[in-house]
Amino acid sequence: MSLLITNIGELFTNDSHARSLPASAAVVLDGERIAWVGAAADAPAADERIDADGAAVLPGFVDSHAHLMFAGDRAAEFGARMAGEPYTGGGIRTTVGATRAASDEELRGNARRLVREALRQGSTTIEIKSGYGLNVPDEARSLRIASEFTAETTFLGAHVVPAEFRDRPDDYVALVCGPMLALAAPHARWVDAFVERGAFDEDQARAILSCGKERGLGVRVHGNQLAPGPGVRLAVELGAASVDHCTHLSDADLAALTSTRVECMCHDGWDTTVATLLPGAEFSTRSPYPDARRLIDAGATVALATDCNPGSSYTSSMSFCIALAVREMRMTPAEAVRAATLGGARALRRDDIGVIRPGARADLLILDAPSHLHLAYRPGVPLIRTVIEAGRAVFT
């Protein structure tokens, strides 16, 4: 079935190869793909038609960083933080307890609820991490269930050292590299590690990420969230697709992100490690935001994602992250929307999403607004009118 979207107020394509579009643009979808983009007057016939009524149309959001495999919540911890307690990541172990105690159906139901909540708000692609099981069966089932919802699954057995290994972290590293990875890898596309004081040091993280790489998983890293550290350096060294948080960066980190080409199965085979910024985490932990302007001006590729998790960032809203990025991280609205779409696609090494051009997946949003500016200009307002996922209007 083909679908013509016409009367578009602003078409935000992210397509650098496209000729500049006329004021009145149209898009034709054919099945799961975009078939045609151009002037409304030249649009080919289609089976069905949506009148965008002068609204902005943009690619579906690509949320390249979310932790949806968990049970319970930590609202009390959030309340304590807002009363002055610091965030340390220590609460992760609370969620580990709740996750281990949950049935498969509870974990699946919670993930389903959040994937749907995210989709309703425009996230047509979402990455899902494990990391609240932290033993062999619970990490394996987290990824098995995650893969029911997305192809972008990430093994985060190296989230923190669980309580039962507190005095022997190297034994835990061996468990992650051995039996845990063996059962998790068949359900995962990526391997990730939290490189931070209180989680994993550089050598431990290098060991785990290298084992994942040997099993064919792509690398992504949680780095430089709470303090300066080796996360960015290690991510670039290992050819990671993305290093996430990037709140505390040295000049050397910045140079590594902008000057090192890493191999990828995308573009011409080479790309940089994407800096993925997660302003929901700074919001919910009342911490200083990363400086996106510094990264962009230095030439880094920046992505925006929610980090949706019950501890540090319990939001599934990419629009909220865009508004924060504009207000608090010195991004222009256009840069923030690009980072939330094309940036996320690059962080996942995907060429088929985050862009409106013929051949790309037909994931599109029609806003209740005439331009992308409104996503930051009208924060907190539900502006995603229509969500089209793989050619199908799933919310309208």
* Options 11-19, 303-311, 343-351, 366-374: segment touching Fe ion (CB under 5 A): 303-311
Q: Give strand pairing partners of 192.
A: 220
For 327, list phi and psi in degrees, rounded to 5: -75, -40
In the DSSP assignment, the letter for residue 219 is E
Tokens of 365: 């949003």
The reply on whether position 95 binds ligand NIG by CB under 6 A is: yes
Tokens of 1: 């079935």
Q: SS3 of 275, please? A: strand
Tokens of 152: 């972008």
Q: H or E segment at 81?
A: helix 75-82
Tokens of 184: 């998790």
CA–CA separation, 98 and 39 (whole Å):
53
- Cβ 338 to ligand NIG shortest distance, Å: 22
- Cβ 172 to ligand NIG shortest distance, Å: 16
Out of Fe ion, ligand NIG, none, what residue 223 binds, judged by CB under 5 to 8 A for its kind, is none
The secondary structure of 369-388 as a DSSP string is SSSTTHHHHSTTS--EEEEE
Q: Identify the residue among 222, 233, 349, 374 touching ligand NIG (CB under 6 A).
A: 222
Out of ligand NIG, Fe ion, none, what residue 247 binds, judged by CB under 5 to 8 A for its kind, is none
Ramachandran bin of 23, using left for φ above 0, alpha for ψ from -120 to 50, beta for the remaining angles: alpha
The reply on whether position 78 binds ligand NIG by CB under 6 A is: no
- Asked if 347 and 242 count as a contact pair (C-beta separation under 8 A), the reply is yes
* Options 32-40, 212-220, 307-315, 339-347: segment touching ligand NIG (CB under 6 A): 307-315
How many C-alpha atoms does 373 have within 13 Å on its Cβ side?
4
The reply on whether position 281 binds ligand NIG by CB under 6 A is: yes
248 among the known binding-site residues?
no
Out of Fe ion, ligand NIG, none, what residue 91 binds, judged by CB under 5 to 8 A for its kind, is ligand NIG
The reply on whether position 91 binds ligand NIG by CB under 6 A is: yes
- Cβ 247 to ligand NIG shortest distance, Å: 10
312 vs 341 by CB, closer to ligand NIG: 312
The reply on whether position 354 binds ligand NIG by CB under 6 A is: no
The reply on whether position 309 binds ligand NIG by CB under 6 A is: yes
Listed residue (34, 69, 63) closest to 139, CA to CA: 69
* Options 14-22, 35-43, 262-270, 302-310: segment touching ligand NIG (CB under 6 A): 302-310
| # residues contacting ligand NIG (CB under 6 A) | 15
Q: Identify the residue among 15, 307, 335, 363 touching Fe ion (CB under 5 A).
A: 307
- Cβ 334 to Fe ion shortest distance, Å: 26
- Report the interhelical angle of 136-146 vs 92-101 (nearest 10°): 80
116 among the known binding-site residues?
no
Q: Which residues contact 65 (CB under 8 A, 6 or more apart)?
A: 127, 129, 242, 244, 276, 278, 305, 306, 307, 347
- Residues at the contact surface with ligand NIG, assessed by CB under 6 A: 67, 89, 91-92, 95, 194, 222, 225, 281, 307, 309-313
Sequence ranges of the binding site: 65, 67, 74, 132, 159, 222, 225, 307, 309, 311-312
- Residues at the contact surface with Fe ion, assessed by CB under 5 A: 307
